[in-house]
Amino acid sequence: MTLSVEALAFGYPGKPVGRDVSFELGPGEVICLLGPNGSGKTTLFKTVLGLLRPQGGRVRLDGEDVAQWPRERLARHLAYVPQAHTAFFPFLVRDVVLMGRAARLGLFATPSARDRAAAAAALASLGIADLADHPYTEISGGERQLTLIARALAQEPRVLVMDEPTASLDFGNQVRVLERITELARSGIAVVLSTHDPDHAFLCADRVALLDDGRLQHLGRPEEAITPEALKRIYGVDVDILTLPGTDRRVCVPSLSRPEPWQRPSV
Amino acid sequence: MSTVRRWRATTRFGPWLLPVLLGLLCLGALGVGPFPVTPAQIVELAAARLLGVPAEVPEIVETVILQVRLPRIAGALVVGAALAAAGAAYQGLFRNPLVSPDILGVSAGAGLGAVLGIFLSLPVFGIQLLAFLFGVVTVGLVYLVATAVRGREPVLVLVLAGVVLGALAGAIISLLKVLADPYDQLPAITFWLLGSLAVLTPDDVLAAAPLVLIGLLPLHLLRWRMNLMTLGDEEALTLGVDAARLRLVFIAAATLMTAAVVSISGIIGWVGLIMPHIARMLVGPNFERLLPAAMTLGAGYLLIVDTLARTMAATEVPLGILTALLGAPFFLWLLARGRHGWQ
Question: CB neighbours of A109 closer than 8 A, spacing ≥ 6?
Answer: B224
- pLDDT for the residue numbered A263: 65
Q: CB of B341 within 8 Å of any CB in chain A?
A: yes
Nearest residue of B to residue A153, measured between CA atoms: B239
Q: With H, G, I as helix, E, B as strand and everything else as coil, classify residue A252.
A: strand
Given a cut of 70, whether residue B343 has pLDDT beyond it is: no
Element (H, E) at B234: helix B233-238
- What tens digit of pLDDT does each residue of B232-244 get? 999 999 999 999 9
In order of A4, A160, B31, B76, the CA distances from B72 in angstroms are: 64, 56, 13, 6
- pLDDT for the residue numbered B294: 96
Using CB atoms, which residue from B225, B227, B241 is nearest to A95?
B227
B325 Cα to chain A: minimum distance (Å): 27
- Report, as an integer, the average pLDDT of B67-92: 95
* Binary contact (A89, B222; C-beta < 8 A): no
B271 Cα to chain A: minimum distance (Å): 20
Nearest residue of A to residue B218, measured between CA atoms: A108
Please report whether residue B51 resides in a domain: yes
* β-strands A64-65, A56-61 pairing: antiparallel
A255 Cα to chain B: minimum distance (Å): 39
Q: Taking a C-beta distance cutoff of 8 angstroms, is the pair B255, B82 a contact?
A: no
A246 Cα to chain B: minimum distance (Å): 44
* Binary contact (A100, B239; C-beta < 8 A): yes
Element (H, E) at B10: helix B2-31
Q: Buried b vs exposed e over B14-39: b needs ≥16 C-beta within 10 Å? A: beeebeeebeebbeebbbebeeebee
Could you tell me what percent of chain B has a pLDDT over 90?
A: 63
Given a cut of 80, whether residue B260 has pLDDT beyond it is: yes
Name the residue range of residue B281's domain.
2-6+18-337
Q: Taking a C-beta distance cutoff of 8 angstroms, is the pair B128, B283 a contact?
A: no
Q: Which residues of chain A carry a pLDDT beneath 50? A: none
CA distance A4 to A62: 8
Interface of A with B (CB under 8 A): 12-13, 46, 49-51, 71-76, 78-80, 82, 86-92, 95, 99-100, 102-103, 105, 107-111, 133-135, 137-138, 151, 155
CA A164 to chain centroid: 5
- pLDDT for the residue numbered A265: 65
* Binary contact (B240, A72; C-beta < 8 A): yes
* Binary contact (A102, B241; C-beta < 8 A): yes
Confidence of residue B22 (pLDDT cuts 50, 70, 90): very high
* Binary contact (A90, B341; C-beta < 8 A): yes
B238 Cα to chain A: minimum distance (Å): 6
Kindly list the residues from chain B whose CB atom is less than 8 angstroms away from the CB atom of residue A102: 225, 228, 239-241
Kindly list the residues from chain B whose CB atom is less than 8 angstroms away from the CB atom of residue A108: 221-222
- pLDDT for the residue numbered A266: 60
Please report whether residue B118 resides in a domain: yes
CA distance B195 to B262: 8
Could you tell me what percent of chain B has a pLDDT over 70?
A: 97
Using CB atoms, which residue from B95, B223, B225 is nearest to A102?
B225
- pLDDT for the residue numbered B39: 85
- pLDDT for the residue numbered A83: 86
Q: What angle do CA B22, B28, B32 make, to 5 degrees?
A: 145
Kindly list the residues from chain B whose CB atom is less than 8 angstroms away from the CB atom of residue A90: 3, 284-285, 341-343
Please report whether residue B12 resides in a domain: no
Q: Taking a C-beta distance cutoff of 8 angstroms, is the pair B31, B39 a contact?
A: yes
CA distance A122 to B52: 58
**Residues 166 through 225 of chain B touching chain A, CB cutoff 8 Å:** 221-225
3-state secondary structure B138-162: HHHHHHHHHHHCCCCCHHHHHHHHH
Please report whether residue B98 resides in a domain: yes
Q: Specify the higher pLDDT residue, B150 or B180.
A: B180
CATH number of the domain that B185 lies in? 1.10.3470.10
* Binary contact (A88, B228; C-beta < 8 A): no
CA distance B248 to B240: 17
Nearest residue of B to residue A83, measured between CA atoms: B235
Q: Taking a C-beta distance cutoff of 8 angstroms, is the pair A5, A21 a contact?
A: yes
What's at B149, amino acid-wise? V
Kindly list the residues from chain B whose CB atom is less than 8 angstroms away from the CB atom of residue A92: 4, 284, 286
- pLDDT for the residue numbered B334: 75
Q: Taking a C-beta distance cutoff of 8 angstroms, is the pair B118, B185 a contact?
A: yes
- Report, as an integer, the average pLDDT of B288-314: 93
Across all residues in chain B, what is the average pLDDT?
A: 90
Closest CA to B300 of B325, B278, B284: B278
- pLDDT for the residue numbered A255: 83
Q: CB of B97 within 8 Å of any CB in chain A?
A: yes
* Binary contact (B238, A100; C-beta < 8 A): no
Structural domain count, chain B = 1
Extended beta strands in A133-189, E state: 159-162
Using CB atoms, which residue from A78, A82, A89 is nearest to B235?
A82
3-state secondary structure A7-43: EEEEEECCEEEEEEEEEEECCCCEEEEECCCCCCHHH
Please report whether residue B232 resides in a domain: yes
* Binary contact (A71, B234; C-beta < 8 A): no
- pLDDT for the residue numbered B336: 80
Domain ranges for chain A: 3-230
Using CB atoms, which residue from A49, A90, A135 is nearest to B238?
A49
Given a cut of 70, whether residue B341 has pLDDT beyond it is: no
- What tens digit of pLDDT does each residue of B24-53 get? 999 899 989 888 888 888 888 888 888 888
- What tens digit of pLDDT does each residue of B118-165 get? 999 999 999 999 999 999 999 999 999 998 887 677 888 999 999 999
Q: What angle do CA B46, B315, B32 make, to 5 degrees?
A: 25
Given a cut of 70, whether residue B340 has pLDDT beyond it is: no
Using CB atoms, which residue from B235, B288, B341 is nearest to A110?
B288
- HSE-up of A153 (CA within 13 Å, CB side)? 26
Kindly list the residues from chain A whose CB atom is less than 8 angstroms away from the CB atom of residue B280: 89
* Binary contact (A107, B225; C-beta < 8 A): yes
* β-strands A30-34, A207-212 pairing: parallel
Using CB atoms, which residue from B223, B240, B286 is nearest to A75?
B240
**Fold classified for A3-230:** Rossmann fold (3.40.50)
Kindly list the residues from chain B whose CB atom is less than 8 angstroms away from the CB atom of residue A111: 224
Q: 10 Å Cβ neighbour count for A37?
A: 8
